[in-house]
Amino acid sequence: MSLRLSRRHRYAIDSVLALLLLSGLAWLGLDRGDPLDDALGTWLRADTRVHAAAGVATVFLVGTLWLVHLRRSWRSQRNRLPGALALAGLALMAVSGYALGYLVDEAGHAWMGRLHWIAGVAGAVSYVWHRVQGPRTRPG
């Protein structure tokens, strides 16, 4: 049974994940730890908005994979490790992203932020591995 997704679905996932990663990395590049001057502060605020929107879209898109892609692929026993790592990374990003926005205080912010972006970068590496490895695991 083919586990391929429609081209539109695949593009939507790849593009939203790319935007998520780029906006997250841009945040790391823009942040100086101190109060920012006006121009940088404006960029950082815009970037945070894009990032949070990409985060919401990501959670939605992963939801669209749940019933079919995740279940059938898991049962097929193909591409499991990189898929599970990407999923675990995404779950950690979603939980720590929520915590950054709404739960932790100033003291918790630094380590939660670090946990969040490390999960982001590790999840991105796992996802690329997953995408490259996937077609190679097709039977026949």
Task: Kindly identify the residues of this chain, within the stretch 65-124, that bind ligand HEM according to CB under 6 A.
Answer: 65, 69-70, 73-74, 76, 78-80, 83-84, 86-87, 90, 93-94, 97, 100-101, 109, 113, 116-117, 120-121, 124
Query: How many angstroms separate the CA atoms of 27 and 23, rounded?
Result: 6
CB-wise, 31 or 38, nearer to ligand HEM? Answer: 31
Phi/psi for 125 (5° steps) reads: -65, -45
Among 15, 18, 28, 108, binds ligand HEM (CB under 6 A): 28
HEC readout, the chain: CCCCCCHHHHHHHHHHHHHHHHHHHHHHHHCCCCCCCHHHHHHHHHHHHHHHHHHHHHHHHHHHHHHHHHHHHHHHCCCHHHHHHHHHHHHHHHHHHHHHHHCCCHHHHHHHHHHHHHHHHHHHHHHHHHHHHHHHHCCC
Q: Does 13 bind ligand HEM (CB under 6 A)?
A: yes
Minimum distance from residue 111 beta carbon to ligand HEM (Å): 9
Q: Does 16 bind ligand HEM (CB under 6 A)?
A: no
User: Using CB under 6 A as the criterion, which residues of the chain lie in contact with ligand HEM when the complex forms?
Assistant: 3-5, 10, 13, 20-21, 24-25, 27-28, 48, 51-52, 55, 58-59, 62, 65, 69-70, 73-74, 76, 78-80, 83-84, 86-87, 90, 93-94, 97, 100-101, 109, 113, 116-117, 120-121, 124, 130-131, 134-135, 137-138
